[in-house]
Chains A and B, each alone.
Chain A
């Protein structure tokens, strides 16, 4: 079975400060990991994904995520937050070696960037 945990329902950060949105995963094999962002009344937008190789993945809008196999984590980061980054962020996983073909999503983290 595959699962994702986003331990923080809400993250607040001041504009210009670095931000981190946490994600940990559980798979029986090796993971493929994804981050999506959802703005109010919109669908999910793909930000970035980890497949293999470099543990630091760069994505859209200045976001990046670091894959840590030993800690089974894939935290989303940005060096300098913008007010426009305020949104709901979802981490998702697929087990590379498992039979499940679909993504499993975390419960989401609401990011608020304060001006």
Chain B
């Protein structure tokens, strides 16, 4: 157990809908990362937050957004969902972002299925 928690574990929804995924980082970690894992795209970095502020952006669609709250938990919002958004969404956390020695610890993931 990495100490990173994600809810829900599974989510099934329909095209066009909006969902929110939640992540709580390890105790003491200030930075949160979101990744998408799909069979065709592999593991793709979406976005990173550090202490409430956006730090880096990757291959995140405009339909997706995220935020990190004062208690350091983070939410990833996915809207106007399409079939291709079906994937595993991982959250990771680390103590200090962007410092190369920093290790990211991953949560168990949320499996999103869009029907």
With A46-B2, A51-B101 known, 4 other A-B pairs at CB within 8 A are A32-B101, A43-B90, A43-B107, A44-B90
A67 at the B interface (CB under 8 A): no
**Is B58 touching A90 in the complex (CB atoms < 8 A)?**
no
**Is A101 touching B108 in the complex (CB atoms < 8 A)?**
no
Q: Interface size bucket, B side?
A: 20 to 34
Report chain B residues within 8 Å CB of A34: 103
B14 at the A interface (CB under 8 A): no
Taking Cβ atoms with an 8 Å cutoff, the residues of B that contact A are 2, 4, 33, 42-43, 45, 48, 55-56, 58, 90, 92, 97-98, 100-101, 103-109
Report chain A residues within 8 Å CB of B103: 34, 46, 49
**Is A101 touching B4 in the complex (CB atoms < 8 A)?**
no
Report chain A residues within 8 Å CB of B45: 102-105
Taking Cβ atoms with an 8 Å cutoff, the residues of A that contact B are 32, 34, 36, 42-46, 49, 51, 90, 94, 96, 100-108
**Is B101 touching A107 in the complex (CB atoms < 8 A)?**
no
**Is A43 touching B109 in the complex (CB atoms < 8 A)?**
yes
Q: Contacts A101-B97, A102-B56, A102-B58: A90 and B43 contacting too (C-beta < 8 A)?
A: yes
Report chain B residues within 8 Å CB of A106: 42
Give complex CA distance A105, B42 in Å: 8
**Is A32 touching B100 in the complex (CB atoms < 8 A)?**
yes
Q: Output the nearest chain A residue to B56 by Cβ-Cβ distance.
A: A101
Give complex CA distance A105, B33 in Å: 14
